[in-house]
Structure 1
Amino acid sequence: MKKYISTLALAAVAWMNTSCEDYLSEQMITGVSAGSFYTTAAGFESAVNATYSETKFFYGPERGFSMTVFGTDVHTNGADGSHKMLNLYDGGLNPAQSFVRDTWRDFYRGINQANATINRSQNIPGLSEQHKNLRLAEVRFLRALYYFNLVRFYGDIHLTLEETQGVEITANRTPAAQVYSEAIIPDLQFAIANLPNSQSDYGRATKPAAEFLLAKVYMTRAYQSYGQGNADAQEADRLMSSVINNYNFSLLADITALWDINNQRNAEIIWSIQNNKAQVDERIDGQGHRGHLYFLMEYDVLPGMARDTENGRPWKRFRPTPFHLGLWNRAIDSRYDKTYKHAWISNNAGNIPRWTAQDAAAGHIPSNLVGERKFVVGDTAVFIPGPGKDAEWTAERKARTRYLVITDDVYDERWYPTLNKWIDPTRPNRQHEMGQRDHPLMRLADAYLIRAEARIMLGNTTGAAEDINVIRRRAAWPGMESQMEITPAQATLDFLLDERGRELDGEGHRWFDLVRTKKLVERVRLHNVEAGPNIQEFHILRPIPLEQIDRTDGGYPQNCGYPGANC
């Protein structure tokens, strides 16, 4: 990798507040050399905090969602946005694609910040060895996360554990196996050995978060030819068992509470990326969480509706595939009803439709209603029955109904079922893009499902079914718990992936899940009409950014299948 980002440049934008809750309080550091900056305990703390910053550019903004939600079996593209190539797998997904470039660039920037912090941590006055190791464990946790994302997206990559200073125009292409064995796994083992079970600054890395991440690392490597198969799966099982059994995490009784914006720090969250409302409202934090923008249909042009903060600003990026909508049995499973929006309440008197003479002539209304408004502000204006309910709405019934009913026969890129997990009605105005939600990267339900996946690989389908049933019983409507349970014979990898689609819908795991289990191409071809015709086997990796190739002396090898590859 050409090392054109200096440590001083990174230090110049270090996040200075030692509390992770407020680490977006920025202070410019100018006129200070990198060497002197890292020689004080306060400078070291700021360097550690700066290492967290790259999480903010991926988890919550459009780029992170686009790289992990698009191009899967459960989501396809909506009407708007400039990055549909990540769903379509067409010629636009190439080495010049900006999200592919920026993901590479930002994670390496975070890695360089981590390397600098680690390399310069010796002989700092006033810094105890115990506290230093705690903070270095945080940094190594983050470096492992950044390398894990890079190796999952790009395969063999540049590996360095040393700080970059100045400009360097050479780079290596280290096999993924070596990145795991020399960087990711040792970093997380160090983190587990030195991190506490919890931290007073909510959002800092912890021991269970490191165990969770290492379990997912082992589970990912287990499928690879260079991995250790069952041995890796056994480690994933062991580590997730520790997360599940050895701390105070618990599943919330009702999944609705999990997505309550006033309940973000709850017993199910193992580790989340933090946002601060005051800072996103005042635009001090230029990122914030923007998930509230991307999954919404274009409700604000429909009869009786106008855009408002409660319903959100609809950017129409991601819409569920028909396959995804068919995953829920709504008679027994509450998750669709609790995480998708069904009704929009009229907030705009200026565009409420009126009954017409044609309505009366067709027998839909009595003639005395001709010219009357169909509803008033505060009534239902738009309703989506959703999967399993559309057949109840005949054309005749819809014509007699006061409000607009959108059924699956008219779903398109503008109007479709809307995931409401990320809705943020606390934004200061209806146009504000930055939201205050945290991004729960690790939660207990995922721990159960990863352990179930490990147990499926190990042939322990009884244990896998038990884990899956823990999640399914929580998801059941009251009294339907037994109907939601599966048998060991049903605990297959495909069922597990379906269950992950139901439980972790829209949370930024799906592309990784399908690549990890070697199901991406198969499932996209089966279930994503827009992506299926174009996806090829080489799409399990993203292209190496053109910027990296151009800035490396002698070039940098491209991933097979993409322009410039020599395969």
Structure 2
Amino acid sequence: MKKIFKPLVVVALMLTGCSDFLEEDNKGGISNDDFYKTETGYQTLVTASYNTLRTSYRNTPWLQLAGTDIYNLSRGFAERGLMEYEQLYPENGQVKTFYQNSYNAIQTINMALYYSDIAQLSDANRKILTAELKFLRAFYHFLLVEQFGGIIINNEATFAPRMDLPRASLADSYQFIISEMEAALPDLGTAKAKVNKRTANHYLAKVYLTRGWDLGSNADFEKAKTYATAAINGQNITIPFEQLWSPTNQNNEEVIFAVQYDAKSIASESDGNNQQGIFGPYLGGSELNHKYMNGNIFPSWNLHNFFKENDARYEATFMLTIYDQYFDYYDASKNKNTIPIRAHYPRVWGREYTAADSIAYRAAHAGQIASNFRFYPFRSDENRYRASFESDMFMPVVKKFDSPSTRAIFNTHASVRDIVLARVAETYFLYAEACIGLNDLPTAAQYVQKVLDRPGNSKNGTKLVPNVDIATAGSQIAALDAYHIETAKEFVGEYNRWPELRRTKRLKDLTGRYNFDIRRIGVNAAFLGIGGADKIYRPIPQDAINLNDAQITQNPGYQ
């Protein structure tokens, strides 16, 4: 009897060797070629290729977030090596998981591309599916380049162990990614829930932008602008921020690319993702009927401090009032003027929250103050603010990703919200960043302002403006620092911060300026690696080097 090959973990590439060749009993006796030749069989490969996104993003994508200016260590010191760099080594488990997941995803996609030639598909369907798969393969290679620099390019299906896989140069890695995405672009469709032309244009803008910084190419910044313009496609920023992130408004017109979730498409309601529970402290046990917070990452004091008094995104980003049950906030049937309030996170600008403010709040909400009610005011001094880091509920949690449809599930992976990976506001920022790369600061300021002009962003009707004027910043570095403050506020909790700071070469300086944990140990001590080199990339997993017969040079700082 023949065995049917399960392609999801075929890569003997470095981390798992031959043990990842899995076989399943094939009760029908059908071969891979026969099964994947059918349209139904081939669709399983396409679905598996898209499902790799769930594997990659289901758990906290530490490498996209950790060790930046706007997220601090939690009280449990989760992933301290990634958060502080000082103890970051090639044996780090999260780095290995990211590396392995990315290459396993690439191999799944390679299998789908291999069988596309024999699948019984219409020419039109074959063309569009091939384009989607090529983009996804390039997308994963790009994620790897962002983290590791030059990478191993894997562009063929693997049916036997491959143990001699050379690492490509950074230039060759970028060339492969760009050529794959540009080849895919003409054949992509416009379906919203799949890879489409807009997705490719957005990521081509990001790839060219990243290459522009890494290789010092003004021509790449110009190409980034061209592709960003195509992705924007004349669309203005029109959805109010709270509405943009409403649980009832998923996959809206601003979303370009997302990891798709739906309660009907997962095995159980606890098999979703954990994005809603990452950013903020534990809110207590299931008896309180609040959402489960794993308390892995704390938004920094400086992140809160970046927001100004008239910026409505602050209330739209953070849950500043917790009612009797956390998800009461989303129940239109409940009168917010009568239900109990458990916690309030007051914020006043220019002074400290006082006892008089507390008395006034209690008076204004008479009859709603629960017996276990607590105030957790924002402190203007960072040390005072951090004094409560060991306490539950001490700071407001991020609410942008809340999944009220699964409120009854007290589980780390209870969210069935889509994970947004790209949206139009980011495309505007990519254009602005390319302009900064070209030292066209006035145009960069204009594109950032287009995002700040989102309807409803200003609470008092005055124009919401950047903390620092990018147009008159005086230098490219000063403009980048002003730009990064604006992206910090717009993209709280979205999975893009570390790659953004790394590509502009502002990672070390901004974490040294704003990250409390790294300031505590000293920024030079945090980043200084073996041999005196700074840790500007993540380490290539040691297992990947050990299992590869090719000569692989470890990244600087880890050698």
Q: Fold-level match, TM-score > 0.5?
A: yes
Indicate the percent of aligned positions where both proteins have the same amino acid: 25
Aligned to 1:208: 198
Task: Give a deviation string over 1:466-519, Cα, whole Å, max 9, x none.
Answer: 211111111632553435375732592211111100101110111011001100
Q: 1:123 to 1:57 in 2, by over 3 A?
A: closer
CA drift at 1:394: 4.5
The residue identity in structure 2 corresponding to 1:10 is P
Residue 492 (structure 2) pairs with residue 502 (structure 1): no
Q: How far does residue 380 in structure 1 lie from its aligned partner after superposition?
A: 2.2
What are the equivalent positions in structure 2 for 1:21-420 lying under 5 Å apart?
30=26, 32-62=30-60, 64=61, 66-80=62-76, 82-91=78-87, 93-124=88-119, 126-181=120-175, 183-196=176-189, 198-199=190-191, 202-225=192-215, 227=216, 229-245=217-233, 249-280=235-266, 282=268, 286=271, 288-300=272-284, 306-308=287-289, 311-330=290-309, 332-346=310-324, 378-386=339-347, 388=349, 391-394=352-355, 397=358, 403-407=373-377, 408=379, 409-411=384-386, 412-413=388-389, 414=391, 415-420=394-399
The residue type paired with residue 509 of structure 2 is E
* Closer, same or farther: CA 120–346 of 1 in aligned 2, 3 Å: closer
Provide the C-alpha distance between the structure 1 equivalents of 2:266 and 2:350, rounded to a whole number of angstroms. 39
- Counterpart selection for 2:441 from 451, 461, 464: 461
- Amino acid paired to 1:73: D
Equivalent of 1:484, from 444, 450, 465? 465
**CA displacement at 1:268 relative to structure 2:** 0.8
- Name 2:366's counterpart in structure 1: none
Unaligned runs of 5+ in 2: 11-23, 327-336, 363-368
- Conserved? CA contact 1:219–1:454, under 8 Å: yes
d(CA) in 2 for partners of 1:551, 1:316: 35
Q: Which amino acid aligns with 1:307?
A: L
Q: Structure 1's 250 and 274: CA in aligned 2 closer, same or farther, altered over 3 A?
A: farther
Query: Which amino acid letter does the alignment assign opposite residue 345 of structure 1?
Result: Y
The range that moved more, 497-506 or 475-484, is 475-484
Amino acid aligned to 1:253: I
SS of equivalent to 1:418: coil
Structure 2 vs 1, CA of residues 36 and 396 (structure 1 numbering), >3 Å: closer, same or farther?
A: closer
Give the structure 2 partner of residue 22 of structure 1: none
Q: Which moved more, 1:40-49 or 1:133-142?
A: 40-49
Letter in 2 for 1:312: K
How far 1:9 sits from its partner (Å)? Answer: 2.7
Change (3 A) 1:48 1:298: closer
How big is the shift at 1:395? Answer: 8.7
Distance 1:176 1:470, change over 3 A: same
Amino acid corresponding to residue 423 of structure 1 in structure 2: D
Change (3 A) 1:191 1:393: farther
Instruction: List alignment gaps of at least 5 residues for structure 1.
Output: 1-5, 14-27, 349-375
2:259 touches 2:420 (CA, 8 Å); kept in 1?
yes
Instruction: Please report how far the alpha carbon of residue 250 of structure 1 lies from its aligned counterpart in structure 2 after TM superposition.
Output: 4.6
On the 8 A contact 1:275/1:437 being kept in 2, the answer is yes
2:329 matched residue in structure 1: none
Q: Cα offset for 1:218?
A: 0.3
TM-score by length of 2: 0.82
* C-alpha contact 2:445 2:470 (8 A) present in aligned 1: yes
Residue deviations 1:232-275, cap 9 Å, x none?
A: 111111111111125xx553431001111111021111121100
Normalising by structure 1, we get a TM-score of 0.81
Tell me the matched-pair count. 497
**Which whole-Å CA distance do the structure 1 matches of 2:32 and 2:536 have between them?**
39
Q: Which amino acid aligns with 1:186?
A: S
Superposed CA RMSD in Å reads: 2.9
Contact 1:386 1:417 in 2 (8 A): no
Residues 393/233 of structure 1: CA separation in 2 closer, same or farther (3 Å cut): same
Q: CA offsets per residue over residues 132-187 of structure 1, 9 Å max, x none?
A: 12101100110111000011111122112111112222221111210111x21011
Partner residue, 1:439: 419
Query: CA deviation digits over 1:100-126, x for unaligned, max 9?
Result: 1111111111111222222332244x4
Q: Which residue of 1 aligns with 2:7?
A: 10
- The alpha-carbon deviation at position 535 of structure 1 amounts to 2.7
2:452 is matched with 472
CA distance in 2, matches of 1:454, 1:396: 45
User: Would the alpha carbon gap of residues 7 and 29 (structure 1) be closer, same or farther in structure 2, given more than 3 Å must change?
Assistant: closer
Answer whether contact 2:65 2:497 (CA < 8 A) is retained. Answer: yes
Q: Aligned to 1:164, what secondary structure does the other structure show? A: coil
Cα distance change, pair 188–450 in 1 and its aligned pair in 2 (3 A)? same
